A and B are shown apart, each in its own frame.
Chain A
Amino acid sequence: MNARKALCFTALGLAAMGLASPAMAQTRGQLRLPEFAALAKKATESVNVTLAPQVLGLACRFLDKSEPDEAAAQQICTSLTGIYVRKYSFDTDYAYPKEDIEGVRRQLSAPGWSQLVGARSKKDQTDVDVYLLIDGGQAKSLAIIASEPREFVIVNIVGSIDLEKLHELEGKFGVPELQIEAGEKAPAAKAPAPNK
């Protein structure tokens, strides 16, 4: 039995015993995301991507390997099983329900999730959290939650993740090297105003 099946059976077993944590109700590492459909009408810009395993496989097949960015994307996606992105921008402050974003953050306190980055800027009222689900010393899921007064972004990538390759898509090297032991949290970094 491979590790993935073992995880699934464990999750099923725990669920049967009523001990399943919210984060394990779906595929391990997949977050439960609120329905944001109503926000799209208020948003000046929205990105809503749900690529479950089959559709993700289809998408990967149609990437153009002759394009450097799509070839890089294909390398990243071969080991992924789901990509879920919600990004909404508004022209007024806090037009989105903060509690919904906090609800997603709370799921990341479930066992297995480790915080890689936690940056807060009081000046800009921006928060950026990056979490990894570590299993067997490998990153099995990535979650990014970024919120600022007029925008929030939630990213959930499920599967074996190569963060270096993911970051390289933007052409920048150097994911912060924070030593993470499975189950431990990295110290949260306080951020001054992000210099975009």
Chain B
Amino acid sequence: MSDVENELRRALRPVDPPAGFAERVMRALPPQRPPATVTPLDIVRTAPRVTAWRRLMTPAALAASLVVAVMLGQQVAFEREQRAGLAASRELMQALRVTSQKLDDAYRAVQSTPPRTQEDEENRS
């Protein structure tokens, strides 16, 4: 490695950010989503003892279980869509970045082309 390269490495040693940087980052973080609460599905599998009270409550309990199951399904579908959407948005940004870089290449190619002189134009005709 040449002397200039060694000097560059020395000149570019990492420097610390200002004091309190990490704390400022943490303060700037968005609030976290509370974790999803999942009701165990086995409540829909338990067969209740049949008492008069339970005869009254069973339809309500079943309805509640169905609601929980539907909500759980919706939560799963929601999370799946979240993951798919985030993945798609990352792909979108990658695609746009590649596109913009290639437009940049084309732009540079045009900009670096010397303008046609009068002689060139006459030679063309």
A and B: interacting chains: yes
Q: Does A59 lie at the interface of the complex (its beta carbon under 8 Å from any beta carbon of B)?
A: yes
Which among B99, B105, B110 is the interface contact of A157 at CB below 8 angstroms?
Answer: B99
Counting CB contacts under 8 A, is A117 at the interface? yes
> B99 and A51: CB pair below 8 A?
no
Closest chain B CB from A100 CB (angstroms): 18
A47 within 8 Å of B (CB atoms):
yes
Cα A59 to Cα B85 with chains together (Å) = 5
A interface residues, tally (CB under 8 Å): 50
A69 touches B89 (CB 8 A): no
Contact of A167 among B85, B89, B103, B111 (CB under 8 A): B103
Considering the chains assembled together, what is the distance between the CA atoms of A166 and B103 in angstroms? Answer: 9
Please state if A119 and B93 are interface contacts (CB–CB under 8 Å): no
Most buried by A among B81, B108, B110: B110
Q: A73 near B107 (CB under 8 angstroms)?
A: no
Which of B97, B102, B107, B112 is the one whose CB lies under 8 Å from A146? Answer: B102
Contact of B98 with A85 in the complex, beta carbons under 8 Å? yes
A117-B88 contact, Cβ under 8 Å, with A70-B93, A157-B99, A169-B97: no
A101 to B79, CA, bound (A): 39
B interface footprint on A114-157 (CB within 8 Å = 1, 0 otherwise)? 00110101000000101000000000001010100000010101
Would you call B112 and A85 a contact (CB within 8 A)?
no
Interface check B95, CB cutoff 8 A: yes
* Interface size, B (range): 20 to 34
Known contacts A87-B98, A153-B98, A169-B100, A73 near B93 by CB under 8 Å: yes
Cβ-closest chain A residue relative to B108:
A194
Write out the residue numbers on chain A whose beta carbons fall within 8 Å of the beta carbon of B97: 169-170
Distance in Å: Cβ of B59 to nearest Cβ of chain A:
39
CA distance A146 to B109 in the complex (A): 12
Q: Give bound CA distance, A142 to B98, whole Å.
A: 13
Q: Are B93 and A191 in contact (CB under 8 A)?
A: no
Bound Cα distance from A30 to B82, whole angstroms: 28
A189 to B110 CA separation, bound complex (whole angstroms): 6
Interface presence of B84 (CB below 8 A):
yes
The residue on A at minimum CB distance from B101 is: A170
Given contacts A62-B89, A168-B100, A175-B103, 11 further A-B contacts (CB under 8 A): A47-B94, A59-B91, A83-B95, A128-B105, A128-B109, A142-B99, A167-B104, A189-B110, A190-B113, A192-B112, A194-B105
